[in-house]
Amino acid sequence: MHARMLAAGPETELVSVWARRPEAAAETAAPYGAATAASLDELLGTCEAVAFAVPPAVQAELAVRAARSGRALLLEKPLGPDLVSARALADAIADAGVVSQLVLSKRYHPGTREFLARASRSTVTGARSLYVHGAFLGGEMATGWRLEHGALLDLGPHLLDLLDLAVGPIASIRGTGDPRRWIELTCEHENGAVSQASLSGSIRVARARTRVELYCEEHELVYDSGELDPEESWPVLRREFAEAVRGRRTPDPDARRGLRLQELLEQAARTAL
């Protein structure tokens, strides 16, 4: 997805790809006429910005090096495998003064932004939400880190981000269940509202489902990603990242937002034990 999005331009150009396996880099670069780098240092020497499409533990290590080299960063969620590594990366980005942007893909969809704008004008009493699919049961998404950490670390950032914005800042969060099968989160928000979130990547459903129901004093608001075309997110993400890099301004969401979400993930994981 990263290669295809960045190569599409015109705001960005995919100039080089590096991977731990040279054959993987070549396979990714070839369709777009991009070069391959023999090392991370070589990659950093050829570009203004770096997009990371690697496991959280790898991102947390390599993105620090990229930030210290002065490169802008397009980061996947979560920032790292745990709060310690996420904080170290966020601190390195702040110290280097480089632009960072977080690939919370749903946030860039016009439909999501319309929902959040309507929510900001509403008084929410309570909310229910879910993000479920069966991709961890097999296929290209059933990667090692996802199978180890489960839905909380992979799907949780998306849903918690939406709840934190749509309902109000989350003050505390409790989790129950097994993130590798099904986990339930109960969030208490600073405004007194309560929300619930269900997460699983290991159930057989016809398609992935992301749904948020807001129960407001005035009305009910529903967000359902099944009604949205995910392809509409990528041009927005690409354009806003390029504008942020060229304008040297901090976009939203950035690494600081990623750290905020990682703090919530850590709290949920700790209470679910």
CATH number for the domain running over 110-227: 3.30.360.10
**Burial of 11 from C-beta contacts in 10 A (0-12 / 13-18 / 19+):** middle
The per-residue pLDDT for range 106-157, each reduced to its tens digit, is: 999 999 999 999 999 999 999 999 999 999 999 989 999 999 999 999 999 9
Q: Can you tell me the mean pLDDT for 190-211?
A: 95
Task: Please check the confidence at residue 218 and state whether its pLDDT lies above 90.
Answer: no
Q: Which CATH architecture has domain 2-105+232-253?
A: 3-Layer(aba) Sandwich (3.40)
Domain ranges of the chain: 2-105+232-253, 110-227
pLDDT for residue 250 is more than 90? no
pLDDT of residue 48: 96
Looking at the chain, the whole-number percentage of residues with pLDDT higher than 70 is: 100
Instruction: Tell me the per-residue pLDDT of 23-57, one tens digit each, with 9 for 90 and over.
Output: 999 999 999 999 999 999 999 999 999 999 999 99
The mean pLDDT of 65-76, rounded to a whole number, is 98
Q: What is the pLDDT of residue 189?
A: 98
Q: Give me the pLDDT at residue 217, please.
A: 87
pLDDT in tens, 167-184: 999 999 999 999 999 999
Please state the pTM of the whole predicted model. Answer: 0.95
Structure confidence by residue, pLDDT tens digits, 53-69: 999 999 999 999 999 99
